[in-house]
A and B are shown apart, each in its own frame.
Chain A
Amino acid sequence: MFIRVLFLAISLLSFSACVSKDTATSNLTTTETEKEHKIESEELRLLMQELNMVVYDRQKSELDRDDIRRRHALNLADIVKGFAKKIESMPADKLGNELTVEDREMYLYYAQELYKDGEAINEVAQNYEMEKLDRTVAKMQQTCNRCHALLRD
C-alpha cells in the first residue's frame, strides 16, 4: 500500500514539477516586460506587414515607395531599440520569477543583440540603403527567434 502511496506521491509531484515547468513559462509571460513585449511584437508584425504592402501602394513612384519603406524602417528600429533598452535596464526580479541567473544572462545577451540589430536597421534607413533592408530585418528576426526558442518555446 505504501508503495502505491509512494508511487502516487512521486507521480503527483513529478506532474506538479511538469506543471511547474509550464507555469514557469506562463509566469514569464505575465511579467510586465512580457506584456509590453507582446504589444511591441504586435506593432512589429503590423509594421512588417505594412512594409510588405508598400509594393502595392498605388500612384507612387519607386522612390516614393522607398521613402515609405524608410519611414516604416525607422519606426521599426525605434521599437526594437526601445524594447532592448527596457530589458537591459530592467531589475532582475522583473524579468521573470522563474529565470535562472544563466537565463537572465542569455536574455540580456539577446537584448544587446537586438539593440545592435535596431541600430543597423536605423543606419540602413538613414542612408536610404533600401537594398540592405531585407538583410538587416532578417538579422533582427533571427535574434528574436533565437531568444524565443530558448526562453519561450
Chain B
Amino acid sequence: MKTGSFKSLFLLSISLALYAAEDDAELELLKVQAKELSQRIEAYETKSNEKRTAALKDENREVRSDYIVDDTQGYSAPMNQKGVLELTSANTVLSVGGRIQLHSIYAWPEGSYFAGKIPLDDSGENGQLIMSARDSRLWVKTRTPTEYGPIRTLIEIDFLGTTATEINTNSHGLRLRHAYFEMAGFTVGQTNSAFNAFVTLDTITYAVNDTLVRQPLIRYSVNNRSFGYDLSLEQPETTLLDQNGTIITPKDDVAPDVIARLRYYPSWGETSVALMGRYITQDQATLSDGSRVAGRDAAFGWGVNMSGKIKLYGLDDIRFDAQYGVGLGRYVAYNAFAAGSIDADGNIELQPAYGGHIGYRHWWSTKFRSTLAFSYAATDNDITNVNPAARSSVNSDVYGSQLNLLWIPIPNGLVGLEYSKALRSVESGEEGNMDMLTLLVRYDF
C-alpha cells in the first residue's frame, strides 16, 4: 500500500540531492547511497508481498487485533458457551450442563430474604454463617429436527428439595425445576410461567416483589426478530387467607390460569407485558384449624405484569418490573400474600396486590459490574376476616434493597458480594427488618 509513496519520495529526494551536488565526488557518494536505498525499498516490497501471501494462505494463523476480539480493553473472546458434552445420535444432539454454586451468607438477624419470611423481631442470632451448595444445578437438553422444525427438550434439577442436616453429609434432596419440550411454537411441560418478569435484576438475592412461578403449562409462542407473544394455559392453585391468618390451598381448581404475554425487543432494550386471568375457587375447603366450610364459591382474578430493560451507555442498563392485580396471590413475592380471603361460610373475597422494583446496573470494567436495586410489594388484606390475635402472621407490605459487586474471573465463572436489606410489615402493626451479606462463587459448565 505504501510502496508507491516510497518510490515517489525516493525519486524526489534524489532529484533534490542531485541539484544540490557540487562536484563528482559528491555525485559518486550519492549514487552509492541511492543504490543502498533502492535495495532497502526492494526488501520492503518483498516483505510486504510475503505478508499478503501469508494472510491469504495461512488459514490457521491466529492474529490479534485491536478490534472485535480479546483486546486491550479486556473484552472476553466472544462466545464461551457451555454445554460441554455433546452426543449426536440419529440426528439428536444431546447436551449436558449445569452449574456449581456456593452461597455463603451472614444475616442480622438470622432469617430468609424472601418477602414473607423476613424476621419480625431481632430475637434471632446475629451474624451466623450459613454455607450452601444446594442451588447447584444440572440440566440435560436435546434437539432433534422434525418436519415441523426442531423439537427441543430440557430437564433441569437442583438440590433444593428435602433439606438434610448440616452435621455430617449435607445430603440434600433433588428437586425438579424444568421438564418440558418445545416444538412448532408449542411448549408442553413444567417451566417458567409466562407471567414471570421477563427481565430480572442482576442481583444475588431476589427482589421482594419477584414474580417467579414454575408450573405445568401448555403454551403457544410466536417469535419474531423484534417481538414475540405467548398464550399460556397454566396450572391453577388457589391460595386463600383464612380467619386464623393462614394461607390455605383448597385444591379445588377447575380451570387453568390463562396468560397472554407480549414481548418487544427494540434497539433501546427489551420489555414485556403479561396479562393474566384466573378462576379462584373453593369447594368445601378445609381451613387451617381443621374445620370445613359448608359452601362453595368462586371469583375471577386478574393481574398485569410489566418488566423491561432500558440500555444506557455501553452495557449499563436500568431494569424494572411492576405488577398489579386482584387475586394475584402466589404470582408475586413468593406467596407472601393470598389471592383473597375465605370466611367461615366459604365466601371468597379477592384482594389487590401490587409491587415494583427498579435497578441500575453499571459496568466498572468488562469484568466487574454492580447493581443497585430497590423493591416493594404490598397487598390490601380483608383484615376484618382475620382474628385480631392472628394478624401478626398476615403480611401487608415489604421493602427491599440490594447493592452488589460481581466479578467475572473466567468465562462462565462468577464471584459476587452483595449487601441486602429488607423490611416487612404485618397487619398487627409489627415491623421487622434484616441485613444480609452474601458471597457467591459460581461456575457454569
Given contacts A2-B21, A63-B154, contact A58 B65 (CB under 8 A): no
Given contacts A131-B83, A150-B52, contact A9 B13 (CB under 8 A): yes
B156 at the interface (CB under 8 A from A): yes
B300 CB to closest chain A CB (Å) equals 28
The reply to whether A63 and B1 form a contact with Cβ atoms under 8 Å apart is no
B141 at the interface (CB under 8 A from A): yes
Residues in A whose Cβ lies below 8 Å from that of B197? 59
> Which of B26, B79, B177, B191 sits near A137, CB closer than 8 Å?
B79
Closest residue of chain A to B14 (Cβ to Cβ) is: A10
B16 at the interface (CB under 8 A from A): yes
Q: Which of A102-149 contact B (CB under 8 A)?
A: 102-103, 106, 109, 127-131, 133-134, 137-138, 141-142, 144-146, 148-149
Residues in A whose Cβ lies below 8 Å from that of B139? 61-62
B54 CB to closest chain A CB (Å) equals 9
Q: Which of B424-445 contact A (CB under 8 A)?
A: 444
The reply to whether B1 and A100 form a contact with Cβ atoms under 8 Å apart is yes
Residues in B whose Cβ lies below 8 Å from that of A146? 55, 61, 63
The reply to whether B79 and A138 form a contact with Cβ atoms under 8 Å apart is yes
The reply to whether B65 and A52 form a contact with Cβ atoms under 8 Å apart is no
B73 CB to closest chain A CB (Å) equals 8
The reply to whether B2 and A55 form a contact with Cβ atoms under 8 Å apart is no
The reply to whether B444 and A55 form a contact with Cβ atoms under 8 Å apart is yes
Mark B206-224 against chain A: 1 for CB-CB distance below 8 A, else 0: 0000001000000000010
A51 CB to closest chain B CB (Å) equals 6
Residues in B whose Cβ lies below 8 Å from that of A131? 81, 83, 86, 93, 95
B29 at the interface (CB under 8 A from A): yes
Closest residue of chain B to A110 (Cβ to Cβ) is: B55
Q: Which of A48-69 contact B (CB under 8 A)?
A: 48-53, 55-64, 66-67, 69
Q: Which of B132-153 contact A (CB under 8 A)?
A: 139, 141, 143, 145, 150, 152
B405 CB to closest chain A CB (Å) equals 14
The reply to whether B192 and A134 form a contact with Cβ atoms under 8 Å apart is no
The reply to whether B20 and A9 form a contact with Cβ atoms under 8 Å apart is yes
A142 CB to closest chain B CB (Å) equals 8
The reply to whether B79 and A51 form a contact with Cβ atoms under 8 Å apart is yes
A98 at the interface (CB under 8 A from B): yes
B164 at the interface (CB under 8 A from A): no
B310 at the interface (CB under 8 A from A): no
The A interface, classified by DSSP as helix, strand, loop or mixed, is: helix
A115 CB to closest chain B CB (Å) equals 16
The reply to whether B192 and A150 form a contact with Cβ atoms under 8 Å apart is no
Residues in A whose Cβ lies below 8 Å from that of B17? 6, 9-10
B292 at the interface (CB under 8 A from A): no
Residues in B whose Cβ lies below 8 Å from that of A24? 1-2, 5
Q: Of A13, A24, A67, A129, which is in contact with the most chain B CB atoms at under 10 Å from its CB?
A: A13
> Which of B2, B77, B81, B145 sits near A130, CB closer than 8 Å?
B81
Bound-state Cα–Cα, A150 to B197, Å: 47
B314 at the interface (CB under 8 A from A): yes
The reply to whether B20 and A2 form a contact with Cβ atoms under 8 Å apart is yes
The reply to whether B63 and A134 form a contact with Cβ atoms under 8 Å apart is no
Closest residue of chain A to B150 (Cβ to Cβ) is: A128
The reply to whether A56 and B63 form a contact with Cβ atoms under 8 Å apart is no
B282 CB to closest chain A CB (Å) equals 30
Bound-state Cα–Cα, A14 to B10, Å: 8
A94 at the interface (CB under 8 A from B): no
20 A-B contacts, Cβ less than 8 Å apart? Answer: A41-B67, A41-B68, A45-B75, A49-B76, A52-B76, A58-B202, A59-B192, A60-B192, A61-B154, A71-B265, A98-B1, A100-B3, A100-B4, A129-B93, A129-B143, A133-B81, A138-B78, A144-B69, A146-B63, A152-B66
Given contacts A3-B26, A56-B414, A59-B212, 4 further A-B contacts (CB under 8 A): A102-B1, A106-B55, A134-B81, A144-B69
| Residues of A bordering B, CB below 8 Å | 2-3, 5-6, 9-10, 13-14, 16-17, 20-21, 24, 41, 44-46, 48-53, 55-64, 66-67, 69, 71, 74-75, 98-100, 102-103, 106, 109, 127-131, 133-134, 137-138, 141-142, 144-146, 148-153
